[in-house]
Structure 1
């Protein structure tokens, strides 16, 4: 409703006690009295609202007749209120950037968050490097195992070569000895050649076997070093991983990128809240300013115009508001006239049956006198 009714302060009240419900020769005085009371109460409400609407119309006239200085103050304050209310409304419609619990936590730990972000980013980078190192060390261990197994297999091969050399030398000696005994041949040169070949081949086999033996030992030693280094790296990994997981759990994030994003949203939310606070302060300041200039010009209800700042700023809107108030007052005047006519008609009907009221005439007269007082006030005011 345009310019809602203020809380009633009118001292004029209608207190009427009901009378016994008795009918006299078909004339129901109780029903007629109740109708009169209802009409009188509605008339009283109409009068109160009529006076209220009249006061609002008077305020509009005062507004039109204000000094140019006061008008400028009023218009500036009203325009500021409109702008600030829109800003506040837009803010309230904005979706929260982060949850309330996240905001509260970041507000509490605001000073340490930048360091926590840098530490988390560094730890995540270290974990990436460590993971690469672990994969490399795992590959090295596999390669050392392969190298060791290959060296062992070559050792086995050269053992066979050594046995074959011994057999070869034994066969040469046996053949040479047999030829010397049977044929009386001089086989010394052949034995020397066989011995020389066996010695050369044996030396090669022995040196090669020893080389592969060194490779087996080297592969085992290298693998042990890789395992030891891997264990140290794993210990470091576990320590950093625990720190990272603790940060994730503490700040309810999945990675440093989400942490950075949430912190940026928190900073934006802080700015939003500060802007909202300043908006409220400015809104309160301009509201007081508007009420003050209207009160200075003796407005009936200065605060109600805080809800109609658009009418103050827009002349067309003010014309519409004024028109609605005038139409509303005309309707109230019509209702008041109707209720006065109703009361007059019902009073006339009761008076025409006065002789039939008997013992109830005093109570009915009291009601009629009360109604008459109210009726006279309306007639004189209207």
Structure 2
């Protein structure tokens, strides 16, 4: 029996290192799409559990699962609220464009005249502003629109990027841990198969020995009681070893299943956070027309320098202020909600191509927001369905579910499932 254990120990560690390295390489490119998310863990082995073990495992998994689900619902609710506010702002912006397009006649001429003068005066001033600062008019106007919140936007983008890198590291670590657990499970199953073969071989050997002893005792009239008893003792020893190792393997498989169940829950939570963070970053990149927070910070610094220089000449730009006020007055008469924005987008008032481009970008932003809202509604609805089904199928879990829901601020009556 020690020989078997020794051989297993000699080959286990090198095989483990080799197999773990292979599976880590396979998981180097992480798949974080929702379609591949493991939302359920199927039976990981065909071993039978005692009633006590199964109950204990279920209770432990239930506590973690309920808490994770409630946290996911709360986070999804927050994401939906933030996205809806931004969605309303973008929708109002598009509504303003429709109102502007409807302006005709003399009012249109006055509006375009003010816009042309604003463009001319702004370009004259920008020649000096951007002489030593490489900042395009489009970037200047874009940053101007969000100037009040730029520091917060840069900080938020940088935090999201740092968090995204951390989440990628967590996903790789979880993938490596999963590969390790799968390797351990395969090792245990292989051990069970070896025990099965050993039991068959031992049984055949004992039967052959008994037959030989019986034949010898009949033909040569030898006293083979002692060898016969020794064969029985040998068979009993083998049986005890197989029973002991099989029981130990079943316990190891049970522990392995529990670890994998918890690992899947953690992976799902991390993936949802990853997708939400990535959606927020993609939206911010499109909003500010940059590729990362470093570029946005650089553009903002250039903008502040350009603005500082512009302020030195603001006292001499009375005409620009005059036309700015004239433009705002015309727009207010048409009930435009955000009139100040069009000072920085005056070109769109006289060039339909510019207006089409603005409308296109707004529609893209609104589509991304809609996808973000839909995604989080799915997360929220799936979580609510899981909690509801848990309370219906397992009434004894109802108190635990309600406690976790209260902690997360979840109310079934106020948060109905979306169709």
Give the TM-score normalised by the residue count of structure 1.
0.46
Give the TM-score normalised by the residue count of structure 2.
0.42
Structure whose CA Rg is larger: 1
